[in-house]
Amino acid sequence: MRVTVASDHAGYDLKKKVVEHLLAKGFEVEEAGALSADVPYDYVEAGIKVAEDVASGKSDRGIAICGTGIGIAVVVNKHKGIRCGTCTNEYMARMSRCHNDANVIALGARVIGYQVALGIVDAFFEEEFAGDRHAVRVNEIKALEEKYFK
Ligand code: RB5
């Protein structure tokens, strides 16, 4: 599985932890976004990279990190084919997969600690989409995309 992980400056340190964690688990990782915690880097640019990689099929999943996990989630959700939730605990990560078939999660580096973040990341990859009634709802979301997104 190939994963794009990108952050702004606020998410840089957590991004490095997440990348290290995924590489240790055998994932193929595309790292993008901020090159340092000290030099401002817009979460918009980082989010676009994650979304474009996943929407194009270059990566299977994405992890988008900023200070709150909110701004970058807004950005990635502006892309057709992307379903991203900001997760602050493992339950949210599991449900984002199980109920929403999320292909990206957003993390807030100023909100959660490293251990919680890595637990969220593991849950995101462990959980499967449940389908059934949830597939009906995800298909409704896809229909919205057809209506409003190019
Ligand atoms: C950067 O200061 C901060 O605004 C950004 O990381 C994020 O929290 C935006 O939603």
Task: Ligand 1 pocket test: pick from 68, 70, 74, 86 the residue with the most ligand atoms within 8 Å of its Cβ.
Answer: 68
> What pLDDT does residue 66 have?
99
CATH number of the CATH domain containing 69? 3.40.1400.10
Q: Respond yes or no: is residue 98 known to be catalytic.
A: no
Choosing from 9, 66, 79, 84, the catalytic residue is 66
Ligand 1 atom with the shortest distance to the CA of 10: 6
Q: Ligand 1 center to residue 111 CA distance, Å?
A: 11
> What pLDDT does residue 30 have?
98
Task: Ligand 1 pocket test: pick from 8, 36, 45, 112 the residue with the most ligand atoms within 8 Å of its Cβ.
Answer: 8
Q: What string of H, E and C letters represents the secondary structure of the chain?
A: CEEEEEECHHHHHHHHHHHHHHHHCCCEEEEEECCCCCCCCCHHHHHHHHHHHHHHCCCCEEEEEECCCCHHHHHHCCCCCCCEEECCCHHHHHHHHHCCCCCEEEEECCCCCHHHHHHHHHHHHHCCCCCCHHHHHHHHHHHHHHHHCC
Task: For residue range 86-141, list pLDDT tens digits in order.
Answer: 999 999 999 999 999 999 999 999 999 999 999 999 999 999 999 999 999 999 99
150 pLDDT more than 80:
no
The parent domain of residue 14 ranges over: 2-148
- Cβ(53) – ligand 1 distance below 6 Å: no
Q: Respond yes or no: is residue 87 known to be catalytic.
A: no
Count of structural domains, the chain:
1
Task: For residue range 18-69, list pLDDT tens digits in order.
Answer: 999 999 999 999 999 999 999 999 999 999 999 999 999 999 999 999 999 9
What pTM, to 2 d.p., does this model score? 0.97
